């Protein structure tokens, strides 16, 4: 690890007690007991692994689907494939894992309920990733009714 990585680690160690004091209630950990309880002391090796949220110019941004025509479905799937390939390339080159946003999370929230009810005929909580794939890949089937 380089000098910059060591500086970041030392900075994270310096900030961690403040962050744990602030968000420890929400995490539900036993680090902070109630009044009168003895506090559990854990070393750095016993801590849970840190999750890093990365954002920046080099991170791929998932596409957002707002339309309903066949051409818009095809365009969305093309852009989603480019996004997925970029994330896969990032995951191969580093030891960290970049999360791939599921297709269902890339649909604009204001039209999600309408799509689920009128095109998939299911409530939005029961629609799976496979249902979304079938919905978008159906745009590749030719329509000869025009």
Instruction: Give the pLDDT confidence score for residue 32 in this predicted structure.
Output: 43
Question: What's the pLDDT tens digit per position in 31-45?
Answer: 444 444 444 545 555
Asked if the model's pLDDT at residue 137 lies above 60, the reply is yes
3's tokens: 């000098």
88's tokens: 């896969």
Distance CA 42, CA 118 (A): 53
56's tokens: 């920046």
DSSP class of 124 = T
Q: Count CB neighbours of 30 within 10 A.
A: 11
Question: What's the pLDDT tens digit per position in 71-129?
Answer: 888 899 889 999 999 888 888 877 777 888 898 889 998 888 888 888 889 898 898 98
Asked if the model's pLDDT at residue 27 lies above 80, the reply is no
Q: In this structure, are residues 81 and 101 in contact, taking their beta carbons and an 8 Å threshold?
A: no
Instruction: Give the pLDDT confidence score for residue 33 in this predicted structure.
Output: 44
Q: In this structure, are residues 103 and 80 in contact, taking their beta carbons and an 8 Å threshold?
A: yes
Q: What are phi and psi of 84, to 5 degrees?
A: -65, -40
| Single pTM value for the model | 0.58
Q: Count CB neighbours of 100 within 10 A.
A: 16
């Amino acid at each position: 690890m380089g000098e910059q990585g060591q500086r970041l680690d030392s900075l994270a160690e310096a900030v961690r007690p403040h962050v744990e004091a602030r968000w420890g209630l929400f995490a539900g950990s036993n680090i902070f007991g109630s009044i009168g309880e003895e506090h559990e002391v854990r070393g750095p090796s016993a801590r849970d692994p840190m999750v890093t949220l990365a954002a920046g110019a080099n991170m791929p941004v998932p596409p957002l689907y707002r339309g309903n025509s066949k051409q818009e479905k095809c365009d969305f799937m093309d852009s989603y494939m480019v996004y997925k390939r970029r994330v896969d390339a990032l995951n191969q080159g580093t030891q960290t894992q970049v999360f791939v946003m599921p297709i269902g999370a890339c649909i604009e929230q204001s039209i999600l309920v309408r799509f689920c009810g009128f095109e998939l005929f299911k409530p939005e909580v029961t629609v799976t990733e496979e249902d979304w794939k079938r919905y978008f890949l159906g745009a590749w089937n030719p329509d000869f009714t025009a």
